Structure 1
Amino acid sequence: MSVASRNITDNESILPTLNFWYSFRPVLFAKSIIVGVVTGFLVVALRIGLTAAHDIRKSLYEALPEKPLPIQLGWVFLLVIAGLLIGYTIKRYPLIRGSGIPQVKGALNRQIRLSWFPELFLKFFGGIVGIGAGLSLGREGPCVQLGSYVGLSMLHHSKTPNLERKYLITSGAAAGLSAAFNAPLAGVIFVLEEMHKSFSPLLLVCSMASSTAADFVASHFFGLRPIFDFHAINVIPQEYFHFAIILGIVIAFVGHLFKKALYFFQDFYVRLRIPVILRPVLPLLLSVLLGLYCFDVTGGGHHLIESLCYDNKTLLFLSVLLCLKFLFTTLCYGSGNPGGIFLPLLLIGALVGQIYGGLLQAFGLIDSSHNMNFMIMGMAANFTAIVRAPVTGAILILEMSGNFNHLLGLVGVCMSTYLVGSFIKSRPVYDVLLDRLIHRNPGIFVGNERRKVILEIPVSIDSFLEHKQVAHIDWPEGTVLIGIMRGEKEFIPKPKTEILPGDQLLILASEEDAGKVQMSLIAMGASPED
């Protein structure tokens, strides 16, 4: 055996793959900027459409009780038709269901093959129709998937799509989240922490370029102000920090329960044998009752989060909102409607945090001026509990609020939530959703044996690969270790080369086996706690 080589003899695609690997970086950087700009405009259109739909829906439900019965029934009929159209679409194109983030993770792991056309357009309009009609889903997951589709569309004009694929999909995903939240830094950190759980300098630069470009476009339309105005909230005193730690522990269990409910309602439709085409109809009909009697529960929840800062709501009313939002969000997501859970989970965290702060205030443990601090920390903690990405959770709330004075409290609450989640073995929601998606849709990725791809595998501390010589490792069949990136240095390994923590291994493999090979090698290079 040469250096990690077995059964790769097809030089037809190996030489072009290797030659282009060392010359495509400037071109890739430029393409990442283009992906960011296009994604920015696409997300802006989605945000404008959803804002208009929210305003129309609010006016409609305010006037609907006074309208004659035929008009009321007409609105219900329109929702049924919309549900059937969405149901038909998700049945024919199952990869546009739900958030879209598990699909993007699967595409990066070569477990799923996404088709940007027509899925991009179906995801866009499906999100506007479903969320705009009142479903408790967010725009952020679809924005991430839309950005990845933009990156995929660029590959059709590439001479080496297998090399550029990971970078352009990642760049598009970062740009989608950046434009959705006006949070370019959170967009970059999210794709690295959650989707890759590692990074290389090139991946970081491409993600930063696309994320910044998308934020520039979004800021042109929506301004430079943060998505939420939390400037008036005081910084939490250090004597309240132990309350923040307790909040993180509480929300770790709330987030775990939310994930269980999410999986339950996915199975709920299957157990009842409700046809896929009919599944979106049920939550849309339920949205009529909620729209009439508790409008705040419908939609993603952006306006409700803002109102929590200024409206004094009773603890009883906040508790009712929390229960309704919790159940309605999980029911909507389980139906397969295009839409994410980002904004709803932030709202759920905000409600838990404000209820918690209200109880502390009622018992005289905190001053009333700091109640809102726990709302903000609840948002970051619930994101950490569900997504299992504490750095993204803290940075996202900081960027969305435009106030970095809350950093210390957010980091503390996110860390306590993350540690408790590890103790109760609460898996990241998108990893579980991806596993369930692949299990229910076998054969959604078929590679080409003649095409070769280069995989980048990070090596973590205490991993199986750490401090092992290349010749002493049982590498997967049909792979070649062609290089090691160690800091700024890149070299071709020898049989006695020792692999160190922090190395990035460059592995040549066939596209057909890349998915299994990548997952196997990532497991070998990961720390035990990962």
Structure 2
Amino acid sequence: MKRARDVLNRPFAPRYLKLILQGAVVGLITGCVVSLFRWIIDHTLQILFVWYPYLNEHKLYLLPYILFLLCLSLILGKLLKKDTLDLVGSGVPQIEAVLLGQHHLKWWPILWKKFIGGLLVICPGLFLGREGPCIQMGGCVGLGLAKTTFKSEPDEQKLLLSAGVAAGLAAAFSAPLAGVLFLLEEITTSFKPKVWLTALSAALTADLMTLVFLGSTPSLFLKIAPTTKMIDLSVLLVLGICLGLLAYVYQYVLLDLDFLYSKIKFLPKRYHSVIPLLLTIPLGLFEPKILGGSHDFISYVIALSQNGQLWTKLLGLLGLFFVIRFVFSMVSYGASVPGGIFMPILVLGALLGCIFGLTLTHYGLIEPKQYLSIVLVSMAAYFGAIEKAPFTAIVLLTEMTGSLAQVFPLVFVTFVAYVVNELLGGRPIYTALREEMDFSTIK
């Protein structure tokens, strides 16, 4: 008869100890890189909120600022010249291609160029997320350490690259669980212990660095009041259907951007950034808080929608904000620049949540204190349907906002939106973007 000592592993000899320790190192370095990246972006955007009101009153400085943005575009074009394929967009499709053996990543040049390139376009206010560059930079850190420091075998190189992905997202949003779930649900689509253990080790240490350097406040704190009354199921169903339909529209337009930008013949692809950079000026003069990813804008529209203004006026303003954010998010992402889509999607989801929440409150279909729950649910469902990653969406919004609210509405609406997008023919967005890049034809 076998005893416990015959079945259990030998003490102090875990199978994955080396990988866990290596993952922790990847997370520490990724956390430091991403914390600096976040700090620069956050403080630069605060400067923009002061700069544009000043520019409104001193139009004389418009010409120098236009020249400054043209210089940024020129510098970015030089950065993109040799590594355009690796530097444009979020970097997630490129990471997926590496893990599938379709592509090779030059980790050091991509790491520093993504860092600088991301700052050049996100800091002036383009509607791009910081998380895409953070994910790719984390992958580069993991791959670089695996090759140069740990001298890992090819399989373990991919494992540490994956851990860097989780660490990058964890540090971008101070959301370690979401970082790991995103890796498992969206990229590796597997739940092997050595993958998630290494990734969790990296995500935790990366998040620790953000806590040290940036503080412990959730990156998008929402104070949602608890309520015992359940939102009507038919309301949640309609909300999920609407969000699923709009998620499909987002995917369709995003995947047509390369085709649309290809019609611009007078400007080389690597200098397409000049278009959205110059468009930031009228947008900033109209409302500077609309610029950027942007956590600040979500807080702004939530506060705006709760200030008791006339319902129709608020609804019209939020609708205008949604159109501007949707169109300029596409203009920004399609311009062959480094930047992600996570935060732009969440901003659109928050705007939809405000619009739905105000309407439902106005007609007495929900209680006023359930308004913020609708905003939270809308962000999660819209994001989960577009990314085709519902578990990541639910956990990410929970960690970002520091609030779970009612679990059932969150899960139910996200599920409905996901299914609707699936029925319409939607695809996991990064998989679709990778296929559009067609790495199989690149040698």
TM-score (norm 1): 0.77
Deviation at 1:235, TM superposition (A): 4.2
More strand by share: 1
Q: Hey, what's the Cα distance between the residues in 2 that align with 1:321 and 1:220?
A: 35
Structural mapping, 1:458-477, within 5 Å = none
2:30 equivalent to 1:30: no
Residue segments in structure 2 that go unaligned for 5+ positions in a row: 1-12
Deviation at 1:139, TM superposition (A): 0.3
Pick aligned residue for 2:216 from 207, 217, 224: 224
Partner in structure 2 of residue 413 of structure 1: 413
Structural mapping, 1:380-419, within 5 Å = 380-419=380-419
Pick aligned residue for 1:82 from 72, 75, 94: 72
Report the identity percentage. 33
Pick aligned residue for 1:55 from 27, 46, 51: 46
Pairs aligned (count): 421
Deviations 1:383-426 (A, max 9, x none): 11110000111111111111233322211111111111221120
Structural mapping, 1:84-233, within 5 Å = 84-94=74-84, 95-154=86-145, 155-233=147-225
| AA at the equivalent of 1:30 | L
Greater CA deviation, 138-147 or 158-167? 158-167
Q: Hey, what's the Cα distance between the residues in 2 that align with 1:294 and 1:99?
A: 26
Report if the CA contact (8 A) 2:302-2:354 is conserved.
no
Deviations 1:476-508 (A, max 9, x none): xxxxxxxxxxxxxxxxxxxxxxxxxxxxxxxxx
Structural mapping, 1:430-441, within 5 Å = 430-438=430-438
Q: Hey, what's the Cα distance between the residues in 1 that align with 2:264 and 2:225?
A: 47
Report if the CA contact (8 A) 2:251-2:429 is conserved.
yes
| AA at the equivalent of 2:435 | D
Partner in structure 2 of residue 308 of structure 1: 301
Q: Hey, what's the Cα distance between the residues in 2 that align with 1:152 and 1:438?
A: 22
| AA at the equivalent of 2:368 | S
Q: Hey, what's the Cα distance between the residues in 2 that align with 1:416 and 1:410?
A: 10
Q: Hey, what's the Cα distance between the residues in 2 that align with 1:161 and 1:255?
A: 40
Q: Hey, what's the Cα distance between the residues in 1 that align with 2:340 and 2:229?
A: 34
Structural mapping, 1:354-365, within 5 Å = 354-365=354-365
Pick aligned residue for 1:240 from 232, 235, 250: 232
Partner in structure 1 of residue 367 of structure 2: 367
| AA at the equivalent of 1:99 | S
Deviation at 1:199, TM superposition (A): 1.8
Greater CA deviation, 211-220 or 229-238? 229-238
TM-score (norm 2): 0.91
Residue segments in structure 1 that go unaligned for 5+ positions in a row: 1-21, 445-530
Structural mapping, 1:325-336, within 5 Å = 325-336=325-336
Distance 1:296-1:432 versus aligned 2 partners, 3 A rule: same
What secondary structure sits across from 1:392 in the alignment? helix
Report if the CA contact (8 A) 1:262-1:330 is conserved.
yes
Deviation at 1:24, TM superposition (A): 8.2
Report if the CA contact (8 A) 2:244-2:418 is conserved.
yes
Q: Relative contact order, CA 8 A, sep 6+: which one is greater?
A: 2
Q: Hey, what's the Cα distance between the residues in 2 that align with 1:74 and 1:58?
A: 18
What secondary structure sits across from 2:441 in the alignment? coil
More helix by share: 2
Deviation at 1:159, TM superposition (A): 3.7
Report if the CA contact (8 A) 1:251-1:417 is conserved.
yes
Deviation at 1:349, TM superposition (A): 0.6
What secondary structure sits across from 2:244 in the alignment? helix
Distance 1:239-1:405 versus aligned 2 partners, 3 A rule: closer
Partner in structure 2 of residue 502 of structure 1: none
Report if the CA contact (8 A) 1:131-1:138 is conserved.
yes
Q: Which has the larger radius of gyration?
A: 1
